[in-house]
Amino acid sequence: MIRRSLFILMKACLKLMSVIEEYWFNVLLKIVLFLNRVEYGEGVKTVRSVPDFNVNLKNGKIKLGSRITFNNYGEPSTNTKCKLMVGANAEIKIADNVGLNGVIIYAKKRVSIGEYTLIGGGTKVFDTDFHNLDWKERRNPQKMNEARIIPVEIGSDVFIGTNCIICKGVHIGEHSIIAAGSVVVKDIPANEVWGGNPAKFIRKVIG
């Protein structure tokens, strides 16, 4: 009887600690958003940790809608935390009701994500090649970072599986599904399932 009571008490204490931890993570989130001049709506929350925000103060912007969830560390997020990085005169815009699990987004120009989109753990979204694709130019320190930059647009109600890479210039249409581990290098129409490296059409979305 005593052992059972201790077990129940321990579970209650762990639950209380979890609630307190989540509360403080979300207090810290608001501070981080303020310090990075991030615009955000109501109900933005974080789980297990606070995402990293790196916003270039030379007109770099992050705009978050309402009820966005950042899931960090743990099984669903493949033990990583969300990171949003924005260069000078660039923007990340995320609409309402989006869920991000350990996702990394890097914008040198613009990355936009539509409402009700879910992006799985370890996925990366980049709108740049980061480095010059000409090997001769990469040998020149002054030109090696002259990379192509093309905005990325992800539509509403898109589901992107874990460990995907969304490359520069890609537009993903609404309601589409990207299979886990895919590398997306070209536009995907609405209401389609794509997968693979490079990602290819699999079938239409049913329903």
Which domains occur in the chain, in start order?
2-204 (2.160.10.10)
Please answer whether residues 193 and 186 qualify as being in contact, where contact means their C-beta atoms are separated by less than 8 angstroms.
no
> Is pLDDT of 98 > 70?
yes
Tell me what the mean pLDDT of segment 165-182 comes to: 97
pLDDT at 9 over 60: no
- Catalytically annotated residue among 48, 67, 93, 131: 131
Confirm if 195 and 183 have CB atoms less than 8 A apart: no
Position 112 scores a pLDDT of 98
Q: List, in sequence order, the alpha helices (H) in the chain.
A: 2-35, 135-138
Lowest mean pLDDT among 12-16, 35-39, 42-46, 93-97: 12-16
- The pTM (predicted TM-score) of the whole model is 0.88
56 contacts: CB under 8 Å, gap ≥ 6: 86, 87, 88, 90
The confidence score (pLDDT) of residue 24 equals 79
Average pLDDT over every residue of 184-197: 97
Mean pLDDT of the chain: 88
Could you confirm whether 131 is annotated as catalytic? yes
Model pLDDT, residue 206: 84
| Helix, strand, coil percentages for the chain (3-state, nearest 5) | 20, 30, 50
If phi > 0 it is left, if psi is from -120 to 50 it is alpha, else beta; for residue 59 that is left
Cβ(63)–Cβ(84) under 8 Å?
A: no
Residue-level pLDDT at 143 = 77
**Residue 137 binned pLDDT confidence (cut-offs 50, 70, 90):** confident
pLDDT of residue 18: 60
Would you place residue 45 in the very low, low, confident or very high pLDDT band (cuts 50, 70, 90)? Answer: very high
- Cβ atoms < 10 Å from Cβ of 102: 27
Structure tokens at 57: 């103060």
**47-81, pLDDT tens digit by residue?**
888 999 999 988 999 999 999 999 997 665 567 88
Q: 198 or 24: which carries more pLDDT confidence?
A: 198
Residue 162 contacts residue 144 (beta carbons within 8 Å):
no
**pLDDT reading at 30 higher than 70:** yes
pLDDT at 42 over 60: yes
Place of tokens 């310090």: 35
Res. 139 pLDDT band, cuts 50 70 90 = confident
Query: Comparing 3-7, 34-38, 112-116, which segment has the lowest mean pLDDT?
Result: 3-7
- Which of 51 and 9 is assigned the larger pLDDT? 51
